[in-house]
Structure 1
Amino acid sequence: MSLIVQKFGGTSVADVEKIRAAARKAIRAQRQGHRVVMVVSAMGKNTDRLLELAQEVGPNPPAREMDMLLSTGEQVSVALVAMAINALGSEAVSLTGGQIGMQTDSSFSKARIRSISTERIERLLDEGKIVVAAGFQGIDNDLNITTLGRGGSDTTAVALAAVLKADACEIYTDVDGVYTTDPRLLPEARRVDVISYDEMLELASLGASVMHNRSIEFAKKFGVPIHVRSSFSDTEGTMIVTEQESGTAPVSGAAMTPDEARVTVLGVPDVPGMSLQIFSAIAEKKIAVDMVVQNIGDGGKADVSFTVRRDDLQATLLALAPVIEAIGVEGVTHDDHVSKISVVGANMPDQAGVASEMFRALAGAGVNIQMITTSEIKISALVPRDQASIALRAVHEGFKLHEKPDDAKSWSQIKADREAGVEVETLISRLRDDALEALTLTGISVLDHQARVTLMGVPDRPGIAADMFERIGAAGISVDMIVQGYDGEDGSTSVSFTVPQDALEASLKVAEAIAASHGMRGVQGVREIAKVTVSGIGLRSHTHVATLLFETLASADINVDMISTSELQVNAVISSDAADTAKRGLEKVFAGSLG
């Protein structure tokens, strides 16, 4: 008999009638022959009310007590849902996180799952009952109640689906699937039938609220198909699986992360170990760093820029203060009036000109770009917050995301392909008993025989990036990694990109013409560089990954020229003659995490 995990968010159980509707969906699935596990969030607005009560009692409540308090929201929901199922003529049992065997570490408010003991759930299912499990919570080794943090119920649902080897995990929410962007921001956004794990993982980390990135990490690691559906209709929704909807469309989605803050450390001594000191101080405070750009500044010193959540800015500056004094930088600037605009697409690596197309769309809307970072399937640009909505619409329209690609496949077509034996590259991790959320790396690689071109003193006005990369593309030059750092001098920036080494001379010629036409300070070219890449699942949520990379390179006396990060990769540009040493060192350090 097949097994289905159904997750219902807070809006889906916000009142008695919605609770009954959720109960009916579970009963219908059971009567269709499935064994059913429900994962339920706290009733809508319940968690907000509990947070308000805590603040009324006093400021800065202990994290342990906050977890104790917030976990009660799910306990109310699961009991009411089980009551509704029983009242409708079926049998159900409600269980807290501890009762379903959800064992976590002791990181209150952001606990990670270590193991799930399924014996009790399986026994209840064998007895013909619907199991109603509390999302968002577990217990540690001392039986303290812990919570999993933002999106914790999604994570609970997919984790249960993984350990129970469920046939599918259905996520019921107040939207009817995954859209090309947030339909509340752009009504013309299109619902997609299918989206890949990698694309959804990047979009989730960028603020696509329909799913949380940790749940997608689980799904990718353990091969769990996720079906995102509406709680209030029978629309087919969206399947999140290995395959993508289109084999040709360069971009599948766009996202806006509205509340970002940019921090730039200016004039960092260009010697090994500096990045390590900066980012390890931030990682110690469990602050997630998003866009990371290290670029070459004037005089051979490096400028390091990165973004954090706006709410984390002050804590970040406090964490940096002793480090800044110790390493002797020229200064620190920050701006908390910025937003991030990103486009994501699994087909990007196979298509040239995607970056210039995005930059042209932003230029056409009069949007200025402050920072750029690229990865294999994502391009992100930092823009002024008051231009963020305009920017999102511009890139959505620029890539025609409101239109369905000609070669778009439905879930039924993909299933038919699978049944016909079409091979798909998948990563299904071994279910470890001690650390379900352990870091899983998919590879450590080196792209050698590369060169770097840096344009310094890039004017801070719309259209420059578009002109640069359109002219580079027109010259037939293939660009890999792009970073734009914010250097604080007269508002200008520096832009670096990597190219194959045999394209350096042609690239410098184009770059010098670009610099002359826009009055830039100068152009620099460096040959014999390599890009070292650590790829995996959950690199941003496991904040120690970048720290370990910098630590490994520093211990081998290897200097870092450029950095870029994404949810799936951390990239560092180093000298070619250090590439083999770097790869061996990283393979040794991450040996236990390689999938």
Structure 2
Amino acid sequence: MRIIIQKFGGTSVASPEVRAMVVGKINQAREQGYTPVVVVSAMGRRGDSYATDTLLDLARASYRGIASRELDHVMYCGEIISAVVMTGVLQAADIDSVMLTGGQAGITTDDNFNNARVMKVDPARIMNFLKMGKVPVVCGFQGVTADGEFTTLGRGGSDTTAAVLGAALGAEVVEIYTDVDGIMTADPRIVPTAKILDIISYNEVAQLAHQGAKVIHPRAVEIAMQKNIPLVVKSTFSDAPGTLITNISKEGPERNAVTDRIATGVTFLPNIVQIKVPLDQDATPMESHKIFRALADGKISVDLINVHPGQVMFTVAEDVAEKAAARLQKLGYSAEARHDCAKVSVVGGGIHEVPGVMANFVEALSLYNIPILQTVDSHTSISVLVKRADVENAVKALHEKFGLAD
């Protein structure tokens, strides 16, 4: 049995016309000899009747602080509605199909409501339906705890659902359908010359996702990488081949495309706050530990960390900055917060140990007179903190400097 996972995002199931296109994609997979498992997101986006954000707005209308457990119950609804509707569309097209919630599909999670982690997947029920010739339509974004509590997997969690099912079922490929033709070298709204990548490595796309690209969830990439399952990001609205995510270079003249290029893409994260905490010059390492332990206990994620004699500096997302400042104040630290920041990153498998990469990065920004507030790098990325007003120029400058439009 050649199993394929086909995940369709919110815009891919938002209207009868688009759902008809989804039927075409599923039929195409069957004609190619695959046995499909379909994963769906909630229909549409904020403002659409059954979109997750619309349901959240409804739940929070009476009380903004409604508990995470209860929010997971309302967030469950969007995918259930979508899966039921899509199952009906398939049945109307004479495709024998069955709808399953995340829990019914065998996905067990921890109890971190709104951002649960998958603990195990039991694919037996889905396999039984596949052997019966049925097409399972699974609610993305969902799981259930060992004691039966509803959970959701965080933003982009339907991608994670597709990946964990692909791993559990031994799928040949996981297709992620969206409203773009593939993964691009930059946001085309900022860089009109941005190109669609035909192939990209797991590590590169995970970095792009972590650094702000919204085309696929990084957890989904990491799960697929563990089992070496190819991912393909493609459009519901066209027949474009999309972007292949894999560790294996394709055959032909571009077989080294994954490993030979220095940079793959430029991306950014807006709404970042830089926090500086002054310390005594003779402060011990335990002082830094206390700061980061307090933030960790508050489930506050930190980034761009620099620890120096007399100062600790890091960044947090705008929506947790007030909480971070309060925890630091409770410990007796005064913190300086800068709110007008954004993180811009160049990602590429060839960045590590290539002479001149950082020089080119800094030169590109200096030509636009863009001040660098902070830096961090890894094996596959270089990131800088800049003023939010400089984001577009920074992305354009770096995209041009690293030849990504060529």
Give the TM-score range, shorter chain: over 0.9
* Correspondence 1:372 to 2:380: no
State which of 235, 239, 263 in structure 1 corresponds to 2:275. 263
Distance in 1, Cα, partners of 2:52 & 2:397: 36
Distance in 2, Cα, partners of 1:184 & 1:102: 37
Deviation at residue 246 of structure 1 after TM alignment: 4.2
Partner SS state of residue 247, structure 1: helix
Partner of 1:22: 22
* Correspondence 1:386 to 2:379: no
Partner SS state of residue 375, structure 2: strand
Partner of 2:239: 234
Deviation at residue 220 of structure 1 after TM alignment: 1.8
Deviation at residue 184 of structure 1 after TM alignment: 2.6
State which of 300, 318, 321 in structure 2 corresponds to 1:287. 300
Partner SS state of residue 183, structure 1: coil
Give the conservation status (yes or no) of the 8 Å contact 2:258–2:349: no
Deviation at residue 222 of structure 1 after TM alignment: 2.2
Distance in 2, Cα, partners of 1:246 & 1:75: 38
TM-score by length of 1: 0.65
State which of 297, 322, 325 in structure 1 corresponds to 2:330. 322
TM-score by length of 2: 0.94
Partner SS state of residue 343, structure 1: strand
Partner SS state of residue 75, structure 1: helix
Per-residue Cα deviation, 1:83-108 (whole angstroms, up to 9, x for no partner): 11111111010100111011011111
Partner of 2:286: 273
Distance in 2, Cα, partners of 1:13 & 1:290: 35
Per-residue Cα deviation, 1:525-553 (whole angstroms, up to 9, x for no partner): xxxxxxxxxxxxxxxxxxxxxxxxxxxxx
Partner of 2:132: 127
Partner of 2:118: 113
Matches within 5 A, 1:324-363: 325=332, 331-363=334-366
Partner SS state of residue 348, structure 1: coil
Distance in 1, Cα, partners of 2:299 & 2:22: 36
Give the conservation status (yes or no) of the 8 Å contact 1:39–1:133: yes
Partner of 1:210: 215
Deviation at residue 390 of structure 1 after TM alignment: 0.7
Give the conservation status (yes or no) of the 8 Å contact 1:226–1:241: yes
Distance in 1, Cα, partners of 2:34 & 2:193: 36
Partner of 1:75: 80
- CA, structure 1 residues 262+243, in 2 after alignment: closer, same or farther (shift >3 Å)? farther
Distance in 1, Cα, partners of 2:224 & 2:291: 32
Distance in 2, Cα, partners of 1:265 & 1:222: 42
Deviation at residue 309 of structure 1 after TM alignment: 0.9
- CA, structure 1 residues 371+350, in 2 after alignment: closer, same or farther (shift >3 Å)? closer
Partner of 1:220: 225
Unaligned runs of 5+ in 1: 296-300, 404-595
Matches within 5 A, 1:552-571: none
Partner SS state of residue 291, structure 1: strand
Matches within 5 A, 1:481-500: none
Partner SS state of residue 194, structure 2: coil
Distance in 2, Cα, partners of 1:77 & 1:23: 14
Amino acid at match of 2:345: S
Partner of 2:44: 44
Distance in 2, Cα, partners of 1:342 & 1:272: 29
Distance in 2, Cα, partners of 1:280 & 1:90: 53
Give the conservation status (yes or no) of the 8 Å contact 1:260–1:337: yes
Unaligned runs of 5+ in 2: 46-50, 250-256
Partner SS state of residue 303, structure 2: coil
Partner of 2:314: 306
Amino acid at match of 1:398: K
Partner of 2:177: 172
Distance in 2, Cα, partners of 1:38 & 1:184: 30
Identity, % of aligned positions: 39
Distance in 2, Cα, partners of 1:197 & 1:321: 40
Amino acid at match of 1:287: I
More off after superposition, 362-371 vs 54-63: 54-63
Give the conservation status (yes or no) of the 8 Å contact 2:342–2:386: yes
Amino acid at match of 1:276: H
* Correspondence 1:64 to 2:69: yes
Amino acid at match of 1:157: A
- CA, structure 1 residues 246+154, in 2 after alignment: closer, same or farther (shift >3 Å)? closer
Amino acid at match of 1:250: I
Amino acid at match of 1:122: M
Distance in 1, Cα, partners of 2:71 & 2:352: 44
Distance in 2, Cα, partners of 1:282 & 1:288: 7
Partner of 1:254: 266
RMSD over aligned CA atoms reads 1.3
Amino acid at match of 1:57: S
Amino acid at match of 1:42: A
State which of 86, 93, 106 in structure 1 corresponds to 2:91. 86
Distance in 1, Cα, partners of 2:244 & 2:372: 34
Give the conservation status (yes or no) of the 8 Å contact 1:75–1:134: yes
* Pair member with larger Rg: 1
Partner SS state of residue 259, structure 2: coil
- CA, structure 1 residues 207+271, in 2 after alignment: closer, same or farther (shift >3 Å)? same
Amino acid at match of 1:289: V
Distance in 2, Cα, partners of 1:212 & 1:184: 21
Partner of 2:252: none
Deviation at residue 243 of structure 1 after TM alignment: 4.5
Per-residue Cα deviation, 1:556-576 (whole angstroms, up to 9, x for no partner): xxxxxxxxxxxxxxxxxxxxx
Per-residue Cα deviation, 1:293-314 (whole angstroms, up to 9, x for no partner): 223xxxxx24211111111111
Deviation at residue 275 of structure 1 after TM alignment: 2.4
Partner SS state of residue 218, structure 1: helix
Amino acid at match of 2:311: D
Partner of 1:8: 8
